Amino acid sequence: MNHLVQRRILPWRTARRTFSSSHHHRTIHPLTSLPPRVSPSYNLRPTATLLSLNWPSPPRNILITKKKRTPGITASLIEYATHLSSTYPSINIILEPSSASELHADLPFPVYTWDEPPWNATPELLSEKTDLVCTLGGDGTILRASSLFSHAATVPPVLSFAMGTIGFLGEWKFNEYKRAFREVYMSGAGDAYANLSFPTPPALPTNTENASSDPLDTPLSYADIRGMSMGSNRTARILLRNRLKVGVFGPDGVRLNNSSSEGDTYALNEVIVHRGSSPHLKIIDVFVGGRFLTEAVADGMIISSPTGSTAYSLSSGGSIVHPLVSSLLLTPICPRSLSFRPLVLPAETPITLRLGEKNRGREVEVSIDGKRLSDGMGVGMEVRVLGEEVRSPTGEWRGGVPSIVRGVEGLEEREEDHWVGGLNALLKFNYPFGDQDGHR
Amino acid sequence: MNHLVQRRILPWRTARRTFSSSHHHRTIHPLTSLPPRVSPSYNLRPTATLLSLNWPSPPRNILITKKKRTPGITASLIEYATHLSSTYPSINIILEPSSASELHADLPFPVYTWDEPPWNATPELLSEKTDLVCTLGGDGTILRASSLFSHAATVPPVLSFAMGTIGFLGEWKFNEYKRAFREVYMSGAGDAYANLSFPTPPALPTNTENASSDPLDTPLSYADIRGMSMGSNRTARILLRNRLKVGVFGPDGVRLNNSSSEGDTYALNEVIVHRGSSPHLKIIDVFVGGRFLTEAVADGMIISSPTGSTAYSLSSGGSIVHPLVSSLLLTPICPRSLSFRPLVLPAETPITLRLGEKNRGREVEVSIDGKRLSDGMGVGMEVRVLGEEVRSPTGEWRGGVPSIVRGVEGLEEREEDHWVGGLNALLKFNYPFGDQDGHR
Amino acid sequence: MNHLVQRRILPWRTARRTFSSSHHHRTIHPLTSLPPRVSPSYNLRPTATLLSLNWPSPPRNILITKKKRTPGITASLIEYATHLSSTYPSINIILEPSSASELHADLPFPVYTWDEPPWNATPELLSEKTDLVCTLGGDGTILRASSLFSHAATVPPVLSFAMGTIGFLGEWKFNEYKRAFREVYMSGAGDAYANLSFPTPPALPTNTENASSDPLDTPLSYADIRGMSMGSNRTARILLRNRLKVGVFGPDGVRLNNSSSEGDTYALNEVIVHRGSSPHLKIIDVFVGGRFLTEAVADGMIISSPTGSTAYSLSSGGSIVHPLVSSLLLTPICPRSLSFRPLVLPAETPITLRLGEKNRGREVEVSIDGKRLSDGMGVGMEVRVLGEEVRSPTGEWRGGVPSIVRGVEGLEEREEDHWVGGLNALLKFNYPFGDQDGHR
Amino acid sequence: MNHLVQRRILPWRTARRTFSSSHHHRTIHPLTSLPPRVSPSYNLRPTATLLSLNWPSPPRNILITKKKRTPGITASLIEYATHLSSTYPSINIILEPSSASELHADLPFPVYTWDEPPWNATPELLSEKTDLVCTLGGDGTILRASSLFSHAATVPPVLSFAMGTIGFLGEWKFNEYKRAFREVYMSGAGDAYANLSFPTPPALPTNTENASSDPLDTPLSYADIRGMSMGSNRTARILLRNRLKVGVFGPDGVRLNNSSSEGDTYALNEVIVHRGSSPHLKIIDVFVGGRFLTEAVADGMIISSPTGSTAYSLSSGGSIVHPLVSSLLLTPICPRSLSFRPLVLPAETPITLRLGEKNRGREVEVSIDGKRLSDGMGVGMEVRVLGEEVRSPTGEWRGGVPSIVRGVEGLEEREEDHWVGGLNALLKFNYPFGDQDGHR
Ligand SMILES: NC(=O)C1=CN([C@@H]2O[C@H](COP(=O)(O)OP(=O)(O)OC[C@H]3O[C@@H](n4cnc5c(N)ncnc54)[C@H](O)[C@@H]3O)[C@@H](O)[C@H]2O)C=CC1
Ligand SMILES: NC(=O)C1=CN([C@@H]2O[C@H](COP(=O)(O)OP(=O)(O)OC[C@H]3O[C@@H](n4cnc5c(N)ncnc54)[C@H](O)[C@@H]3O)[C@@H](O)[C@H]2O)C=CC1
Ligand SMILES: NC(=O)C1=CN([C@@H]2O[C@H](COP(=O)(O)OP(=O)(O)OC[C@H]3O[C@@H](n4cnc5c(N)ncnc54)[C@H](O)[C@@H]3O)[C@@H](O)[C@H]2O)C=CC1
Ligand SMILES: NC(=O)C1=CN([C@@H]2O[C@H](COP(=O)(O)OP(=O)(O)OC[C@H]3O[C@@H](n4cnc5c(N)ncnc54)[C@H](O)[C@@H]3O)[C@@H](O)[C@H]2O)C=CC1
């Protein structure tokens, strides 16, 4: 108990918490009661292609999402959240509504969440409050987490742990979570953190049975931060993944994808137009840069980000495009043509898919990052896409999904390799022929 | 009127007709009242790859199908059926139920059809009565006509007229219909027809305005047949298109595709297992020759005949396989793999697609020749496919869809070219680069 | 003379050997001194796709070829030949000229070979004398062995041992050689062998140190054969691989590929026309069934057998075709076209590649099974290809390369799987994504 | 000296010419006697993706190259050069040595050229003197022209006329040459040119027969320029095509591609490593960003610029990449793998191809833009590639091949379409299926 109070007087605590009593611990709080978001900056590091993460002050509001219906992962979430809560006292844990109601009774600290309905009010609030997103699951979990920010121009950094499944987007192993979080938490602390005033660290519990010898389990003190901020300039490495800005419009030009607001929907992987359960070919007019390119007669069309080039576009025959190549991919799905080769276009080129007259009576389905829009698309409707710009005219990095790239301890200088490594280890790129059993 | 009576005493007339009175002309008759089917034989011609068609006696029961909801094609059907009826007096016209009820009032002769419900009783009857199928439409119309015989081991020869649309399967032009039909009707007549006794031909109407100078419009007489059967050994050329024998089985091994009978369903193009409107990848176990080949993680799988190699399989990246290559194609649809290359297997290899445990909760859709089976496929279900054999152990040709190949008049010696011609003219195979406008 | 008579009477024991003195052992004999070839028949087995091998009398003349310049394989050849010679007394070992001169001094028995020059006289003789071919090496070694019979209509059965390298065509492991050879040697012995009279087997050496307990090391006696031929009807399984018949013709129509004879050259994998070291595109007119198909503008063209579908054609994007699909593959190499899809054509379709006028001044290279023809191909030259027929009009199997398929002992009933197995084990067909290390 | 001063004052009229006597006209001058190069600047235009061309002062030294051995094109070169010389009096015509010696006698003005040997001395001089390059031919002619600047960091703008052949890179039609040149010549003249003082234009010949009514044929006067520079701010549109920087190194790390200098060779399309006339697979180690990516077993490897994505890389299955996507393509040629998908990498990623030990005894060939390097590449040799940066850290555009994009008169606002247009018109992208003759 004392321990918990201690936590509350650490520098980032909120007044509200100071007065919280223990019965609050198992409660669910609304997002509105959280302090405002701390937004990091991203900087190009010399001789490197990844960016470095710099917090102006330590992150406090941490959203943790997980793969659904997987007991092992639920247990990991509890372990992870408990670690954060006990080691980083000022931290607030945000969970998705379903997780919050499932887990809050098991957690010795309060959790924050939002009301599912009315959905349309929530996303803005979430992006105004979240400092950092952590995902436990596979690529699908990352896509779902990113879709929580699909109407936000700025996504918090995302730290992803692959949980038993193949993950091309998230690459941290769960057993690295303490080191991973510390690295992110302290990233760029150098200047900003040094000026903060810290309390005396709490006396540690002396119960040797429970005492961990791992310094990463010790609640963070001023000395720690000071030491780190002085002695180390190791920062988390960020791959800023461009998204697509997607608008869906009716034949009358009225926006359909996002009834509650006027804005576009951001996609991390791709937007797909597909025949769905109709057994017939679809006819889709494709416009590039405002000009008619071609009439696609196909199962469907994919407009993908470079990140999505290893997802559906790959299965449809697209090239693999490095996430740092600023571009959009136009990949047909089963085109009734011998000569429809996938295209890679500049990210700033607007692309439009229009469902022309010839499809009369036939609907198509529109999906963003594997999630179907509730309404199908009929004759005259349009999907309009533009690549997100992740660099402002003044050269500042912003937007995109800032993905925290794994660095193997001691091999940080090879940090840039993760993508190439993933090609080989996960996609079995150019996997060699032959009998590897070698029993000949 | 006399004219019609004349017709009725021609050699193939039925007693029933002799006593028909004019009010019968606009009526619809059931298939049961038709004489039994006349089945042709197919013979390998020296130095040729196509077969020749030989009728033991002239075909009488002609099924004409057409593309739906296309007024121009309906008019063509009326023109065509009227021509057959007036020129080949013993012929009976069969129409699909919808066409029969739409058109019978406009036709100066009776039409035959079947009751749509109960559907399951009909197909056997249709295949017991039909001597020849004529289609007016595109490939879809041919597929639909062939599906009327999807439970029959023997399909009547099919004469297909492409109507304004692209047709890879049917290649006759509608304006050739008189010549085309005569060629088919007389094919192989040499020996069989010569022994028939013919009446004196009716005196032709002398009204010069209506008189056609085209001998193909003159009702066929003994002299015509004699002349043809003597002077000409030109026969219709048949491409026997192998089909697939498809069985769909539940987890309990019970057959699902065909509740009314125990048999397989025949497919002309392909059978497809597909995710349909589910936005998620499907996991399909593939067995070849009884042995596990691979686990396909994909949108779906296609098992195609060589005929179907230019249909969906082509769009999914399959090779183009000549219809005379006795084979099955196994082509994945958007596989999540870099190394799933389409396979071409011997026609006699059984292939099974099984929906394994990993798909729990996810259905897939099964389609045959572009027509979805009413029930989706759940965990444990299997699609089992085998190529149809079109040659009996004793070397006789049978089964398959006997497609009548177009021969340009005077160029019959180049008749074998139609497939190569279609690659270039329709599929734009290896279409040359460059500015064909030549205005440089 | 006496020598030949002896052989005829006592096939298991040659007079030469009985009376041979040691100076004979290390000599090289010409092929002419060998008894004539024993040609097996091939029979379709019920419910199986592979053929069974039946010797009319035991094979005697065994050609062994090996990969060049690989010391380990040379040692294996010595071990193998010595085993055959000591266990199957009537056997004669044929080596390629280079192997013969390299090894004869190390072998305690005579070897047969031919004179390299004049090359053109040799192949006929080799195919008149060879009963069985054994290869030690990889696919390249099999291709080279098969090319020794590239002018012969009938190739002896081929038993191939993969030696440390990847082998898609040959699948026996070298450590199985005793069992493998015995199986082949006895294959179909049932009726034919039982009527032969056998001598008393030689007394075995009694030196216990050298004595092998393996019955496969014991010289074969009448009793063995009798036992086998009676007790077992296990036969070697044969995959008859169709070859291509290739003719190369000058602009004047004169045959170029084969100056010494009038015949075609047979290819096991493929014939390739390629730009070679010219850095420019080639323009090749392609004719199918005598008709112009297309003008290929490309690095080159491949015409492949189904066996070759996993070789160069695969690398160029062709489908994988099962060797039992009677077909020819037409696969372009780097075509300057978006719409040149690989084609699979009936084996009996003649294909011609012609180097047209537009290539003036540019030669192309022609290779058969990876071996370049000495002369390049100039304007007006043609490569003409036809699939080999492996079944006579009377249904007899003949021609092709009869490849002895490996059967794992006790799993012979699954024997048919070898091809599917090779796709997975060697070609890494549809290799699954993901982190197989499983350390997550 | 006076000569040079004259030029500076009167750019439209050189002293040399004023006083030249007729015997000067047919002579060949060395490049050294030319005034120094005028280098334009390139500016980003609002709401456009192409750059605008701005001359600080009018271009004077014009290099014209042509396709070899094509009489029609030689005639066009004479027509073009004569037009430039008579209409733009201060212009100097540079021809390649072979053209210069072939044509100078036919030209009524002097031409400039360089000595072929010693070749290595020349390129620097050429790039120090050339203001503008004009090519008459196809893509090959553009590649050859660009290779004249393959060691220069700055290439002059290139104006390309497609001559009867397909041209994806050059798109002007020859009959537009007067308008095209004027547009380029005056591009951005607004400010710079207005401050120049001009002489009185020469009196025009009054011979009405020869007088052209085309104002584009009239020698340019002060009034013209004033008018243009005032009235029009139409500028030529530039597509800055990134090149590749290629270095070839021996096993000892010594540079091989460029003996005369230390620098890299620039490629416009691609660099290729290929088996050439060796019939065997090559084994190439590929490093990306300094890290081992994969061992390619293949005919060869292509590293291509986005411009080259429609050249050899396309034929090898690569995606089509818009030239403005800053990237490198890594495309294998006939890889012996099912899983080697083409990659698109950031332009700033260094790629290395190394010929490893496994190729012992086998050379490969290295080609840049379709031109083979004289020496093949042996074991241990490396090709190192990096994308050229076309934007300086301060945002200035430089480097690349500045290609002048065709604008159809009156449709300049649709100018950006040229690439999309080329896909359709030249590459027959997604060419529709079906019978376009429409005679059905
Ligand atoms: N035929 C195909 O390849 C299909 C692919 N998808 C992809 O699935 C995504 C949705 O994911 P889930 O909801 O998990 O669906 P899911 O359960 O169908 O699995 C999609 C698979 O794609 C992988 N994946 C997702 N994004 C990736 C990326 N950027 N790079 C590499 N691998 C990636 C995941 O790890 C998972 O293995 C969509 O954005 C779409 O790209 C969806 C349907 C079909
Ligand atoms: N992405 C794709 O390529 C898809 C293809 N299909 C194909 O459509 C067929 C059903 O046809 P419809 O009901 O008319 O559907 P549809 O209205 O979707 O049209 C299918 C198209 O395929 C053509 N086609 C059909 N069979 C062909 C063949 N054997 N060779 C060449 N072209 C052929 C038709 O001419 C038509 O252009 C299915 O059997 C399937 O093969 C169906 C759905 C998607
Ligand atoms: N199999 C293939 O596709 C081969 C392609 N090439 C290409 O040819 C180029 C050299 O050209 P040439 O000396 O004229 O050789 P060439 O006479 O072999 O013709 C090459 C063809 O490629 C076209 N081309 C060149 N660059 C292009 C580009 N960037 N985009 C679209 N088309 C383009 C040309 O118009 C011409 O049709 C090389 O840079 C290489 O890219 C060279 C050899 C084989
Ligand atoms: N880019 C490519 O894929 C190339 C392939 N080749 C192939 O190599 C063959 C000649 O073999 P080598 O002299 O050993 O040349 P090589 O040393 O170039 O090796 C050819 C490779 O192909 C494999 N191979 C040969 N035939 C095969 C078959 N039918 N199925 C599966 N794999 C097969 C061999 O195991 C070896 O790995 C040619 O017939 C041609 O098919 C030749 C040149 C280039």
Q: Give the residue among D392, D368, D382, D247 at the shortest CA–CA distance from D308.
A: D368
Q: How confident is the model at residue B170 (pLDDT cuts 50, 70, 90)?
A: confident
Give the ipTM: 0.91
Coil vs helix vs strand at C126: helix
* Residue C4: C-alpha distances to residues A80, C55, C56, C111 (Å): 87, 20, 18, 17
pLDDT in tens, A97-120: 999 999 988 899 999 999 875 544
Q: How far is the CA of D310 from the centre of ligand 3 (A)?
A: 9
**Residues B425 and B417 sit within 8 Å (Cβ to Cβ):** no
The H or E element containing residue B335 is strand B327-335
Coil vs helix vs strand at D361: coil
Query: Which one of 3.20.20.80, 3.40.50.10330, 2.130.10.10, 3.40.30.10 gives the CATH number of domain B2-240?
Result: 3.40.50.10330
Atom of ligand 1 nearest to the CA of C433: 37
Higher pLDDT residue, B17 or A145?
A: A145
Q: How many CB atoms lie within 10 A of CB B314?
A: 26
Q: Which two tokens stand for residue C334?
A: 């780097």
Residue contact C296–B49, C-beta within 8 A: no
Query: Which residues neighbour D156 within 8 Å (Cβ) at sequence distance 6 or greater?
Result: D37, D39, D63, D127, D130, D131, D132, D133, D149, D402
pLDDT at position A355 is 95
Residue D355 to chain C, least CA–CA distance (Å):
18
Q: Give the residue among D319, D342, D332, D351 at the shortest CA–CA distance from D283.
A: D332
Q: What is the pLDDT along chain D (440 residues), one digit of tens a residue?
A: 344 333 333 333 333 333 334 444 568 999 999 999 999 999 987 767 889 999 999 999 999 999 998 999 999 999 999 999 999 979 999 999 999 999 988 899 999 999 875 544 456 899 999 999 999 999 999 999 999 999 999 999 999 999 876 688 987 999 999 999 999 999 987 655 655 554 444 554 444 455 566 778 777 665 566 555 444 457 899 999 999 999 999 998 888 876 555 688 999 999 999 999 898 999 999 999 989 999 999 999 999 999 999 999 999 999 999 999 999 999 999 999 999 999 999 999 999 999 998 887 778 999 999 999 877 789 999 999 999 988 887 778 989 999 999 876 665 555 556 788 889 989 999 999 886 543 33
Ligand sitting nearest the alpha carbon of B140: 2
pLDDT at position D115 is 82
pLDDT at position A139 is 94
Atom of ligand 3 nearest to the CA of D368: 39
Mean pLDDT (whole number) for C410-421: 67
User: What spatial distance separates the first Cα and last Cα of chain A, rounded to whole Å?
Assistant: 66
Task: Outline where DSSP puts E strands in C55-105.
Answer: 61-66, 92-95
Torsion sign, CA atoms A180, A182, A187, A190: negative
Atom of ligand 2 nearest to the CA of B167: 35
pLDDT in tens, C268-297: 999 999 999 898 999 999 999 989 999 999
Q: What is the 3-state secondary structure (H, E, C) of chain A?
A: CHHHHHHHCCCCCCHHHHCCCHHHCCCEEEHHHCCCCCCCEEEECCCCCCEEEECCCCCCEEEEEECCCCHHHHHHHHHHHHHHHHHCCCCEEEECHHHHHHHHHHCCCCEEECCCCCHHHHHHHHHHHCCEEEEEECHHHHHHHHHCCCCCCCCCCEEEEECCCCCCCCCEEHHHHHHHHHHHHCCCHHHHHHCCCCCCCCCCCCCCCCCCCCHHHCCCCHHHHHHHHHHCCCCCEEEEECCEEEEEECCCCCECCCCCCCCCEEECCEEEEECCCCCCCEEEEEEECCEEEEEEEEEEEEEECCHHHHCHHHHCCCCEECCCCCEEEEEEEEECCCCCCCEEEECCCCEEEEECHHHCCCCEEEEECCEECCCCECCCCEEEEEECCCECCCCCECCCEEEEECCCCCCHHHHHHHHHHHHHHCCCCCCCCCCCCCCC
CA A399, CA C396: separation in Å to the nearest integer? 72
Ligand sitting nearest the alpha carbon of A427: 1
CA A300, CA A283: separation in Å to the nearest integer? 8
**Residues D353 and D382 sit within 8 Å (Cβ to Cβ):** yes
* Residue C410: C-alpha distances to residues C227, C237, C406, C414, D8 (Å): 19, 14, 12, 9, 95
pLDDT higher than threshold 80 for residue B23: no
Q: Is C156 exposed, middle or buried (0-12, 13-18, 19+ CB in 10 A)?
A: buried
* Residue C104: C-alpha distances to residues B360, C63, C72, C87, C136 (Å): 66, 14, 17, 19, 17
Mean pLDDT (whole number) for B366-379: 89
Helices (H), C137-234: 139-147, 177-185, 189-194, 222-231
Taking every pair of C-alpha atoms in chain D, what is the biggest distance, in angstroms?
76
Q: Which residues of B touch A338 (CB under 8 A)?
A: 314, 427-429, 431
CATH code 3.40.50.10330 region(s) in chain A: 2-240
Domain A243-387 has CATH 2.40.50.140: no
Mean pLDDT (whole number) for B346-359: 93
Ligand sitting nearest the alpha carbon of C272: 4
pLDDT higher than threshold 80 for residue B375: no
Residues D376, D381, D385: CA angle, nearest 5 degrees: 95
CATH code 2.60.200.30 region(s) in chain D: 243-387
Ligand 4 pocket test target in D281, D301, D316, D358 with most atoms within 8 Å of CB: D281
Q: Which of B338, B339, B426 minimises the CB distance to D434?
A: B426
pLDDT in tens, A232-286: 457 899 999 999 999 999 998 888 876 555 688 999 999 999 999 898 999 999 9
Q: Which two tokens stand for residue A402?
A: 């800032």
**Residues C258 and C387 sit within 8 Å (Cβ to Cβ):** no
pLDDT at position A5 is 35
Residue contact A339–C338, C-beta within 8 A: yes
For every residue of B238-291, DSSP letters joined together read EEEE--EEEEEE-TTS-B-S-TTSSSPEEESSEEEEE-TT--S-EEEEEEETTE
Residue contact B344–C322, C-beta within 8 A: yes
CA A306, CA A243: separation in Å to the nearest integer? 9
CA D299, CA D340: separation in Å to the nearest integer? 13
* Strand pairing class (B382-387; D371-372): unpaired
List ligand 2's pocket residues with C-beta within 6 A.
A 279-281, 298-299, 334, 336; B 138-140, 143, 166, 168-169, 269-270, 307-308, 310-312, 315, 369-370
Q: How far is CA B361 from the centre of its chain?
A: 38
**Residues B379 and B360 sit within 8 Å (Cβ to Cβ):** yes
pLDDT at position D366 is 95
Q: How many CB atoms lie within 10 A of CB D411?
A: 9
**Residues D402 and D155 sit within 8 Å (Cβ to Cβ):** yes
